[in-house]
């Protein structure tokens, strides 16, 4: 007979809670370091510490919003071939426990943001409200659902700039918006193809989309993303603000990264999780690392002058 210690159930519940926070998705919050990188403060210890604190705050907020989303979708997730295994959908983690954890995480994160800067707290609060609205209502409105996801990425980028007290240019925000739309539309397409005829039963909003419609939207934002980044990388304003006229050398990495992602979406049926796609595809991950390294080299060394 196996006797279970009193501490084991608590540890098990904590493990389930940690899983529901989806730490593998926190790579999306790396966008908060864009302000640090493009603001010219990458080697400023104080700025690095503030950016890391902002990253931790948004990881906590992201985790809290994933809990809220899983609570809201638990009945639908039980009919999904993959999501039915999530702790809340399966019933292993009580919804009440998840709700209490989400509230504590959100409150603690916003309080921490206030201690850094009231403006950062305002952005963290706006992010929380947007994601709550998305979980409750916006994800059921065609096109608005995808725009809401893009809004979350924009707020991350703005929060990173506010945390280290640097301005964030309009072209960088435009690129962030378009890239977020590209990823969101690709995710919707993956869901539609994966679930087939049962798509609308698992996620009602998918009834409003078709693969053809999503392909048209993806084509628009793909072209727009490339053009926006090319303008950003070659503009005189960018050269003056970033201190380099050679950022155009990074355009091939952006082209390859987008084309590689499209290949994974269409040929490998990927794109369901941008974070997982990035971490599991070595060519795509290498492209992102090389792009980042090239930007750092051009901005912070004499080679970019």
DSSP 168-225: --HHHHHHHHHHHHHHHHHHHHHHHHHHGGGHHHH-GGGGG--HHHHHHHHHHHHHHH
Q: Could you tell me the sign of the dihedral formed by the alpha carbons of 197, 201, 206, 209, in that order?
A: positive
The alpha-helical segments, DSSP class H, found in the chain are 7-20, 34-38, 45-72, 74-77, 87-90, 95-116, 118-136, 144-163, 170-195, 199-202, 211-234, 236-242, 251-267, 274-280, 282-300
Homologous superfamily assigned to 17-168 = UbiA prenyltransferase (1.10.357.140)
Spatial distance between the Cα atoms of 28 and 58, rounded to a whole number of angstroms: 10
Task: Dump pLDDT digits (tens) for 270-291.
Answer: 777 788 888 889 999 999 999 9
Task: Dump pLDDT digits (tens) for 118-146.
Answer: 999 999 999 999 999 998 899 889 999 99
Task: Dump pLDDT digits (tens) for 60-90.
Answer: 999 999 999 899 888 877 777 677 778 888 8
The predicted structure's pLDDT at residue 302: 84
Residue 7: which pLDDT band, with cuts at 50, 70 and 90? very low
The predicted structure's pLDDT at residue 3: 38
The predicted structure's pLDDT at residue 85: 79
């Amino acid at each position: 007979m196996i006797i279970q210690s009193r501490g084991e159930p608590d540890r098990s519940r904590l493990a389930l809670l940690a899983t529901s926070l989806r730490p593998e998705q926190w790579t999306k919050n790396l966008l908060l370091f864009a302000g640090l990188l493009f603001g010219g403060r990458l080697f400023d210890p104080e700025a690095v510490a503030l950016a890391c604190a902002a990253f931790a705050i948004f990881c906590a907020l992201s985790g809290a919003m994933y809990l809220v989303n899983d609570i809201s979708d638990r009945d639908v997730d039980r009919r999904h071939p993959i999501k039915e295994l999530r702790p809340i959908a399966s019933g292993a983690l009580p919804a009440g426990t998840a709700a209490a954890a989400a509230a504590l995480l959100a409150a603690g994160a916003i309080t921490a943001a206030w201690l850094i800067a009231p403006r950062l707290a305002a952005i963290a609060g706006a992010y929380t409200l947007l994601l709550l609205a998305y979980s409750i209502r916006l994800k059921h409105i065609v096109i608005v659902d995808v725009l809401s996801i893009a809004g979350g990425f924009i707020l991350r980028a703005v929060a990173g700039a506010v945390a280290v007290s640097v301005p964030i240019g309009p072209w960088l925000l435009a690129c962030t918006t378009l890239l977020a739309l590209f990823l969101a539309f690709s995710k919707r397409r993956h869901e539609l193809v994966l679930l087939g005829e049962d798509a609308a039963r698992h996620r009602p909003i998918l009834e409003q989309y078709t693969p053809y419609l999503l392909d048209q939207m993806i084509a628009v934002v793909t072209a727009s993303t490339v053009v926006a980044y090319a303008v950003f990388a070659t503009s005189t304003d960018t050269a003056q603000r970033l201190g380099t006229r050679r950022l155009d050398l990074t355009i091939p990495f952006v082209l390859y990264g987008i084309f590689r992602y499209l290949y994974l979406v269409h040929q490998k049926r990927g794109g369901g999780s941008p974070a997982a796609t990035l971490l599991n595809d070595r060519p795509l991950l290498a492209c992102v690392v090389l792009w980042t390294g090239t930007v750092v080299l051009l901005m912070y060394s004499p080679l970019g002058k």
